[in-house]
Amino acid sequence: MTSSILPERPLLISPTLAATIGLEEAVMLQVLGELISQGETPQRQLQQQLDWVELNEADLQKAFPFWAKSDIKRVQSSLQNLGLVIIDPNTDSSDSYYFAIDEASSEGMPQTPASDRPVAADSKRSGSATLIPANWQPDENWIRQCKQHSIPEPFIHALVTEFVGYWRERGQGRFSWGNAFYKHVLKEWRNEQTRKGAYELASTMSAQWRPSDDAIGILEISEINPSFIEDAIPEFVLYWRERGVVHGAWNTKFIEHIRRQWAKFSASFGCDDTPRVISADWKPSADCYEILQLAEIDEDYARGKIPEFVMYWRDSQQVKASWNTVFLQFIKQDWARKLKQLETADNSHAEDQTLAGSSQQRIKEKFKRIADRSWAE
């Protein structure tokens, strides 16, 4: 049957072979076998008992158009490591190589001795898929294959018990348990290296930490007030410094924190997104005073600032979607500035008469707590 979506003869891959050595390896092995059978066998000085085919990089790219050059090299190396393919350079051409499939137990071959071909040995011993024995251990050939990837031998042996237990519970057979274990070790080693890399990038929160420009840009794209973002930084830093947590993605954590806080902040006012000029009789909502109370900001102080706030914004004629938000930020910043001035000023020159009667120690304690942004909760 012909079809417009099948313009070429499809590749036929053995499912058993793919399960044994891997899908990509099985595809390359199948294609190489067809090229060897269709091509003219070059006269080789060594290993005359094998059938060879001469291919250059252009031939390989044409044979495997679905892979990039780097992928062809990777799968090719995998087949060499498994002892299934022999590749010799053509001394007459720097771009050409001789390929052969090592189908037999070729004793005396210097390129691929029989001891280095555990897959072929496994297949010949078993002849069919077998269940893994309870006392199974990888042989030295597979240990050596793993160590070629700079994997420590203690790491390799530590995976044996888990590997055996997993496959005995599943009750599935394999033609080569050594090959399955080899792939399992490579996967676990890559995961281990990834975990180590993430740990090395992790750090504790520093007092000078600031979110990156990319992180702030992401938040501003979400239409979060820049002043809200800036003001949340000291709270975020203080919170994580006190806990001493080690983390590798502080910017991501900050973005998540700001998004949650902004959602709560917006919901607390039932935000009206329609921007408008502030009215002459504007007053902050009751929710606004509750948030100020949580931040330990004196309510009378906040009320006393309303006329100044209204006059300033009426003169500027700017429009805002939420005057409660702007007022909260104004009061919080002004209160923090006032406490800072009182802390550094001499006791005989206190500048804020609204705080008369409060002890200097209480003011200092309030200033230490000013970094707490529980108002945003």
107 and 146 part of one domain: no
Mean pLDDT of 99-115: 47
**Beta strand residue intervals within the chain, DSSP E:** 52-56, 85-89, 96-101, 203-204, 246-247, 276-277, 319-320
Residue 243 sits in the same domain as residue 330: yes
The Cα–Cα gap between 76 and 55 comes to: 13
Q: Are 255 and 218 in contact (CB under 8 A)?
A: yes
The structure tokens listed for 151 are 């994997």
Between CA 180 and CA 369 the distance in angstroms is: 59
- Cα separations in angstroms, 273 against 218, 270, 285: 20, 10, 16
- Is 7 part of a structural domain of the chain? no
Which is nearest to 372 in space by CA: 302, 296, 316? Answer: 296
Looking at residue 207, what DSSP letter applies? T
352 pLDDT more than 60: no
Please check whether residue 6 lies inside any domain of the structure.
no
Number of separate domains in the chain: 3
Q: Which of 131, 109, 106 is nearest to 120 (CA)?
A: 106
Q: Is residue 19 part of a domain?
A: yes
Q: Which of residues 60, 84, 115 is at a domain's end?
A: 115
- Asked if the structure places residue 122 within a domain, the reply is no
Has residue 6 got a pLDDT over 70? no
Is 4 inside any structural domain?
no
Query: What pLDDT score was predicted for residue 169?
Result: 85
Range 310-327 average pLDDT: 85
Q: What are phi and psi of 40, to 5 degrees?
A: -90, 125
At residue 7, the pLDDT reads: 65
Average pLDDT, integer, range 357-376: 57
Average of pLDDT values for 179-200?
Answer: 75
Q: Are residues 354 and 221 in the same domain?
A: yes
133 and 270 within one domain: no
pLDDT 10s digits, 110-148: 333 333 334 433 434 444 568 888 889 998 888 888 887
185: nearest Cα among 227, 214, 152: 152
Domain-embedded: residue 206: no
My answer on whether 280 and 326 are in the same domain is yes
- 88: CATH: 1.10.10
Same domain, 105 and 164: no
Half-sphere exposure of 241 (CA within 13 A, CB side): 13
Instruction: Indicate if the pLDDT at residue 257 is higher than 80.
Output: yes
pLDDT in tens, 25-70: 889 988 888 888 876 555 554 445 677 888 888 888 888 888 888 8
> What burial class does residue 247 get, using C-beta atoms within 10 Å of its C-beta: 0-12 exposed, 13-18 middle, 19+ buried?
middle
Is residue 107 predicted with pLDDT exceeding 50? no
123 domain-assigned: no
- pLDDT bucket at 365, cuts 50 / 70 / 90: low
Query: pLDDT of 239-253, one tens digit each?
Result: 888 887 777 678 888
Q: 120, 79 in Cβ contact below 8 A?
A: no
- The domain of 30 spans 15-115
Q: What is the pLDDT of residue 88?
A: 76
The model's pTM is 0.32
Q: For position 2, what pLDDT does the model report?
A: 54
**Residue 164 phi, psi dihedral angles, 5° rounding:** -65, -45
| Residues 317 and 278 sit within 8 Å (Cβ to Cβ) | no
State the average pLDDT over residues 102-108: 44
Q: What is the mean pLDDT of residues 270-293?
A: 78
Q: Residue 162: which of 192, 184, 143 has the closest Cα?
A: 184
Q: What is the mean predicted confidence (pLDDT) over 178-193?
A: 83
Q: In the prediction, which pLDDT does 119 show? A: 40
Q: Which of 62-66, 336-340, 355-359 has the lowest mean pLDDT?
A: 355-359
310 in any annotated domain: yes
**Helix, strand or coil, per DSSP, at residue 96:** strand
Residue 231: which of 337, 93, 134, 73 has the closest Cα? 337
